[in-house]
Amino acid sequence: MSLFKNHEKAYLMLADGQVFEGKSFGAKGSVIGEVVFTTGVTGYEETLTDPSYYGQIVTQTFPLIGNYGVNHEDQESAKSYVSGYIVREWCEMPSNFRCEGNISDFLKEHNIIGLYDIDTRRLTRIIRETGVMNGIITTEDITAKKDELLEKIRSFSIKDAVSSVTIPEAHIYTPETKKHRVLLFDFGYKRNIREELLKRGCEVIVVPGNTTAEQVKEYAPDGIMFSNGPGDPAENTEIIANIREIQQLGIPIFGICLGHQLMALANGAKTEKLKYGHRGANQPVIDLESGLTYVTSQNHGYAVVGDSIPKEAGFVSHINANDKTCEGIRYTSVNARTVQFHPEAHGGPLDTSYLFDEFVETMEREAE
């Protein structure tokens, strides 16, 4: 474990040429990515291990990160998928009975380049006002290479996101008492989705994101879960085509985040890139059927255009209370429902975990 903070200089340069000078923590080197911010007060380890952040440099708006350390139980996947990590201050000596190490050593272990001691409030305001933009974190002096680096930054884009994070072959997870079998499509899934299903007696078969309808039939599942994941949903043309066929099998489907977006695209809707996305654990979502508002955890840069959903396919079931974007769809043409937020949120809140119960109830009704 590190005993003293590193005071070596490090820099963030944005695509518009603005430069932030700070200090280095984690791994050293240079990395280009899409600079985003998340408002989570806790759950930073879940953020670091969420595959949905693939290709992104994540900025934490909360000023102190790492005060309860890191531990293997809170990780949402086996590795970190962020390109880079930015905080105002990191805690060198964390204190928690579950603590297994500090955040700087965690970043080094996963080869993630970190930057601290910059004005994260100013950076967040820039992203909010101008929108998400590319940037580079580097421990090298950028002065002499500024023009060359700007060209690289501006030409960067996140590509092949789902294929970069999905598993190559299926894995089976069995609960103590098996009641149902669920296929969990890995578009970049978070571990706690699997855990919530296991908790409810579901055997979970995690399958690659490009699994076809014919392969689904061979597994004979009681339900299908389309997971979260990174990147532009519209780029996944092969997966979208597969979903069109899979949904016709009549098997109950539950989609989360990217799974929600891909399902919508498969049914003729459109998606759009948000100015700076929704990332954090305090996003208010209105259930249009009950009128209730829930606090949700979210991580997405794209959204389904609510008005683009064909009337014969389904209807918007949830909206974001802040910007009124689509947060959920109930389908009437096929046996499916999807949401944009994370009902399984490991770091909380747990307001919408009941959606997993509804999914299990749907499978039970189909079995009868």
DSSP E strands, 166-270:
171-173, 180-186, 202-208, 223-226, 253-256
3-state SS string over 288-320? CCCCCEEEEEEEEEEEECHHHCCCCCEEEEEEE
Extract the tokens encoding 233.
């949903």
Catalytic pick from 46, 326, 344, 346? 344
The single-letter code of the amino acid at 289 is E
At how many degrees (to 10) do helices 258-266 and 237-246 cross?
70
- 344 counts as catalytic: yes
Spatial contact of 316 and 326, defined as CB atoms under 8 Å apart: yes
Cis peptide before 252 (omega within 30 of 0): no
Catalytic pick from 180, 260, 318, 342? 342
Cα(41)–Cα(50) distance, rounded to whole angstroms?
Answer: 16
Helix (H) or strand (E) holding 104, with range, is helix 103-109
Q: Strand, helix or coil at 275?
A: strand
Catalytic pick from 76, 196, 257, 300? 257
- 342 counts as catalytic: yes
Cα(162)–Cα(29) distance, rounded to whole angstroms?
Answer: 25
- 257 counts as catalytic: yes
Q: What does the chain come to in residues? A: 368
- Catalytic machinery residues: 257, 342, 344
